[in-house]
Amino acid sequence: MTFVVTDNCIRCKFTDCVEVCPVDCFREGPNFMVIDPDECIDCALCEPECPANAIHSEDDLTEQQKPFLALNAELSKKWPVLTTNKGGLPDAEQWKGVPDKLQYLDRGE
Ligand code: SF4
Ligand code: F3S
Protein backbone atom coordinates (compact mmCIF):
# COMPACT_ATOMS: atom_id res chain seq x y z
CA MET A 1 0.00 0.00 0.00
CA THR A 2 1.09 3.50 -0.79
CA PHE A 3 -0.18 7.02 -1.09
CA VAL A 4 -0.11 8.57 -4.55
CA VAL A 5 0.30 12.13 -5.87
CA THR A 6 -2.21 12.80 -8.63
CA ASP A 7 -3.15 15.30 -11.35
CA ASN A 8 -3.94 18.21 -9.03
CA CYS A 9 -0.27 18.63 -8.08
CA ILE A 10 0.90 19.36 -11.65
CA ARG A 11 1.86 23.05 -12.17
CA CYS A 12 1.09 23.76 -8.46
CA LYS A 13 3.68 21.75 -6.47
CA PHE A 14 2.91 23.50 -3.21
CA THR A 15 5.42 21.23 -1.33
CA ASP A 16 3.57 21.40 2.02
CA CYS A 17 3.40 17.60 1.86
CA VAL A 18 7.12 16.87 2.09
CA GLU A 19 7.73 18.15 5.61
CA VAL A 20 5.29 15.82 7.35
CA CYS A 21 6.53 12.58 5.81
CA PRO A 22 8.36 10.59 8.50
CA VAL A 23 10.28 8.51 5.98
CA ASP A 24 11.19 11.16 3.36
CA CYS A 25 9.49 9.51 0.42
CA PHE A 26 8.65 12.56 -1.67
CA ARG A 27 10.61 13.03 -4.91
CA GLU A 28 10.63 16.33 -6.76
CA GLY A 29 10.30 16.94 -10.49
CA PRO A 30 10.12 20.29 -12.34
CA ASN A 31 6.36 20.78 -11.91
CA PHE A 32 5.13 17.68 -10.06
CA MET A 33 5.90 15.72 -6.90
CA VAL A 34 5.70 11.94 -6.51
CA ILE A 35 5.81 9.43 -3.67
CA ASP A 36 8.19 6.47 -3.72
CA PRO A 37 5.86 3.50 -3.17
CA ASP A 38 8.73 1.38 -1.83
CA GLU A 39 9.33 3.87 0.98
CA CYS A 40 5.77 4.95 1.88
CA ILE A 41 4.57 3.47 5.17
CA ASP A 42 0.94 4.41 4.55
CA CYS A 43 0.72 6.75 7.54
CA ALA A 44 -1.69 9.19 5.79
CA LEU A 45 -0.05 12.26 7.36
CA CYS A 46 0.57 13.91 3.99
CA GLU A 47 -2.95 13.66 2.58
CA PRO A 48 -4.54 16.58 4.49
CA GLU A 49 -1.46 18.81 4.05
CA CYS A 50 -1.91 19.30 0.30
CA PRO A 51 -3.76 22.57 -0.54
CA ALA A 52 -4.63 21.12 -3.96
CA ASN A 53 -6.05 17.84 -2.60
CA ALA A 54 -3.66 15.92 -4.83
CA ILE A 55 -2.67 13.08 -2.48
CA HIS A 56 -4.75 9.94 -2.07
CA SER A 57 -4.39 6.38 -0.88
CA GLU A 58 -3.99 3.97 -3.76
CA ASP A 59 -7.24 2.35 -2.61
CA ASP A 60 -9.16 5.60 -3.14
CA LEU A 61 -7.99 6.45 -6.67
CA THR A 62 -10.65 7.18 -9.28
CA GLU A 63 -10.40 5.62 -12.74
CA GLN A 64 -8.92 8.90 -13.98
CA GLN A 65 -6.32 8.86 -11.16
CA LYS A 66 -5.26 5.21 -11.43
CA PRO A 67 -2.48 5.83 -14.01
CA PHE A 68 -0.76 7.98 -11.38
CA LEU A 69 0.08 4.90 -9.33
CA ALA A 70 2.51 3.68 -12.01
CA LEU A 71 3.66 7.21 -12.75
CA ASN A 72 4.66 7.80 -9.09
CA ALA A 73 6.52 4.48 -9.06
CA GLU A 74 8.37 5.30 -12.28
CA LEU A 75 9.30 8.92 -11.61
CA SER A 76 10.26 8.33 -7.96
CA LYS A 77 13.22 6.29 -9.22
CA LYS A 78 14.44 9.24 -11.33
CA TRP A 79 13.82 12.34 -9.25
CA PRO A 80 15.66 13.59 -6.11
CA VAL A 81 14.34 13.63 -2.54
CA LEU A 82 12.76 16.84 -1.24
CA THR A 83 12.20 17.27 2.52
CA THR A 84 11.76 21.04 2.96
CA ASN A 85 8.81 23.20 1.99
CA LYS A 86 9.96 25.59 -0.74
CA GLY A 87 6.54 27.11 -1.50
CA GLY A 88 4.43 26.49 -4.56
CA LEU A 89 5.30 27.30 -8.17
CA PRO A 90 4.82 31.02 -9.02
CA ASP A 91 1.40 30.49 -10.67
CA ALA A 92 0.28 27.63 -8.40
CA GLU A 93 -2.93 29.38 -7.37
CA GLN A 94 -4.03 29.84 -11.00
CA TRP A 95 -3.53 26.14 -11.74
CA LYS A 96 -5.15 24.87 -8.55
CA GLY A 97 -8.18 22.73 -9.40
CA VAL A 98 -7.72 22.94 -13.18
CA PRO A 99 -8.67 19.51 -14.62
CA ASP A 100 -6.67 17.26 -16.94
CA LYS A 101 -3.17 18.58 -16.21
CA LEU A 102 -1.31 15.39 -17.12
CA GLN A 103 -0.63 16.95 -20.53
CA TYR A 104 1.53 19.57 -18.78
CA LEU A 105 3.70 17.11 -16.86
CA ASP A 106 7.40 17.94 -17.18
CA ARG A 107 9.41 14.77 -16.65
CA GLY A 108 12.64 16.75 -16.57
CA GLU A 109 14.16 14.69 -19.37
FE1 SF4 B 1 5.01 9.76 3.64
FE2 SF4 B 1 3.04 8.82 5.17
FE3 SF4 B 1 2.47 10.24 2.99
FE4 SF4 B 1 3.47 7.79 2.74
S5 SF4 B 1 1.47 8.33 3.61
S6 SF4 B 1 4.11 9.62 1.58
S7 SF4 B 1 4.85 7.70 4.50
S8 SF4 B 1 3.54 10.99 4.83
FE1 F3S C 1 1.95 18.60 -4.84
FE2 F3S C 1 0.24 19.01 -2.93
FE3 F3S C 1 2.64 18.25 -2.33
S4 F3S C 1 0.43 20.24 -4.77
S5 F3S C 1 3.88 19.13 -3.93
S6 F3S C 1 1.18 17.07 -3.49
S7 F3S C 1 1.44 19.72 -1.21
* pTM exceeds 0.85 for this model: yes
Question: 10-59, pLDDT tens digit by residue?
Answer: 999 999 999 999 999 999 999 999 999 999 999 999 999 999 999 999 99
Kindly give the distance from the C-alpha atom of residue 41 to the centroid of ligand 1, in angstroms, as a whole number. Answer: 6
Contact 7, 65 (CB under 8 A): yes
Q: Whose CA is nearest to atom 2 of ligand 2?
A: 50
pLDDT in tens, 52-98: 999 999 999 999 999 999 999 999 999 999 999 999 999 999 999 99
Is residue 106 in a domain? no
For residue 12, tell me if it sits in a domain: yes
Which domain CATH number covers 71? 3.30.70.20
Whether residue 19 is contained in a domain is answered as yes
Number of domains in the chain: 1
Residue 104 domain-assigned? no
CA 24 to centroid of ligand 1, rounded, Å? 8
With vertex at residue 22, the alpha carbon angle to CA 86 and CA 60, rounded to the nearest 5 degrees, is: 90
Nearest-Å Rg of the Cα atoms of the chain is 12
Q: Report the separation in Å between the CA atom of 73 and the middle of ligand 2, taken as the mean of its atom positions.
A: 16
Structural domain of 18: 3-82
In a domain, 98, yes or no: no
38 lines ligand 1 (CB under 6 A): no
